[in-house]
Amino acid sequence: MVATQQCMVLDQNKELIFKAYEALNQGDIENFGELLSEDFQEIAQNGDGRSKEECLNAFRDLRVMMPDVRFDIKEMIAEGDKVVVVENYSGTMTGKFRAQEPTGRKMSVVAVDIYTIRDGKIAELQSIFDTASVVEQLGLGE
């Protein structure tokens, strides 16, 4: 009985993450935000944290910069309150990013996202990817 309940929780956690990726890929940032806990934290690669609103604004900015941005799940593993996703993160820079004009260049990198689920919501996200490769592929700073 306990093993069955644990499997159900893991399946629910994975379903929550599938919904999050579906919302992001459709550009539905508001729906994505509803899947996040009120005290959500995004942990950057340098260890800095971003609040729920800061994270949502970052995804909005990303959509402006790369309207065709995609996060395609390659593998998903759930254990306890964690869900780990290996994804292909790709897009074309056809929009402005801060002071940077669009380059029209495409990028594609593998990313690993580690989610913590609490009370049926995403409480934390840590995303790991090669930012230098993204900068190079998009021709930023040239």
Instruction: Give phi and psi for 136, each to the nearest 5.
Output: -65, -50
Place of tokens 């495409």: 106
What domains can you pick out in the chain, each with its CATH number? 2-138 (3.10.450.50)
Per-position pLDDT tens, the chain of length 142: 455 666 676 789 999 999 999 999 999 999 999 999 999 999 988 888 999 999 999 999 999 999 999 999 999 999 999 999 999 999 999 999 888 899 999 999 999 999 999 999 999 999 999 999 999 999 987 6
The pair of three-digit structure tokens given for residue 86, joined into one six-digit string: 């290996």
The pair of three-digit structure tokens given for residue 39, joined into one six-digit string: 């005290």
Question: Residue 125 and residue 55: Cα distance in Å, rounded?
Answer: 10
- Separation in Å, CA 55 to CA 8, 36, 87, 106: 29, 10, 18, 23
Place of tokens 């780990």: 84
| Other beta carbons less than 10 A from residue 35's beta carbon | 17
